[in-house]
Amino acid sequence: MFVRRTARRWAQVGASALVLTAISLTAPVAQWAVADDCPIAEVVFARGTDEPAGMGRVGEAMVNSLRRQTGGLPIRTYPVDYKATITQRHSGAGAKDAIDRIKSTADSCPDTKIVLGGYSQGASVVNIVAGFDGVNWGDPLPRKYMDHVAAVATFGNVAGRTGGATPTQDSPLAAKAIDLCHPSDPICHDGPGNSWSGHTEGYIPVYTDRAAAFIAAALLTHGTPRYGSQPSYAPQPEYGRGPGPRQPRTVSPTPPGPTPTAPDPYYGGFI
């Protein structure tokens, strides 16, 4: 009887040890799975008119450049789901989809930094989400979620001709925005020398690289770890105004103080 009870006790102890061992082995796996579901950054991007479903050429180029400039920072992408047709009637639906995605990511992954971007008609989607002036086809992102947005980048944005360049507008996201307009793009540039090719072909790689540099600077702050050896997120020399052909410009966040309103004859927007 004693031998039987002793054997039963050892069997129970052994089973308990196996359970504890299984817990210790599986717990780290579960933690990593949660971490994988919440990347350091997520890019929510709206493609341009008539581009196939997805991020679009400009969005893909910007994200690829962003990954290079951050040394391989874990970045998830979300292509805004909307009909980017020539009729320009679906920006409101795109804004709703983008807002739903931002809310979902912010609620489930509060530490993930969100980047909002758009090209052409996709820039109009961004304008609605950000609550920029001149666009009233839908409700903007609720303010409590705007803190989760680390940066905003628009390309070929018609708001530059209607409501003013995005960094100059009255929105909590204006200070986090960069607005890029090719100097011959008739969608965003009001002046001589416009050509449709400036809108369709003028943004890769110079402008997408410049937007990526701006976004990388926003992501690599507040303790965000760098990946790789030497991530570079400063604008490169060729983007400046050195010798040679005049280089494209961007509208950067406005510093504290009165908003400059003098028109720039070259850029066609505000500085």
Active site residue 50: no
Catalytic residue among 97, 179, 185, 209: 185
Q: Kindly provide the residue ranges of all beta strands, DSSP E only, lying in the chain, ordered along the sequence.
A: 41-46, 75-79, 113-119, 149-155, 177-180, 250-251
CA 155 to chain centre: 12
Active site residue 232: no
Active site residue 120: yes
Rounded Cα–Cα distance for residues 260 and 239 (Å): 22
Helices (H), the chain: 2-37, 56-69, 91-108, 121-130, 143-146, 159-162, 196-200, 206-219
Catalytic residue among 120, 124, 171, 184: 120
Rounded Cα–Cα distance for residues 68 and 103 (Å): 27
Structure tokens at 249: 């410009």
Please choose, from the candidates 179, 178, 171, the residue with its C-alpha nearest in 3D space to the C-alpha of residue 128. Answer: 171
- What is the set of active-site residues? 120, 185, 199
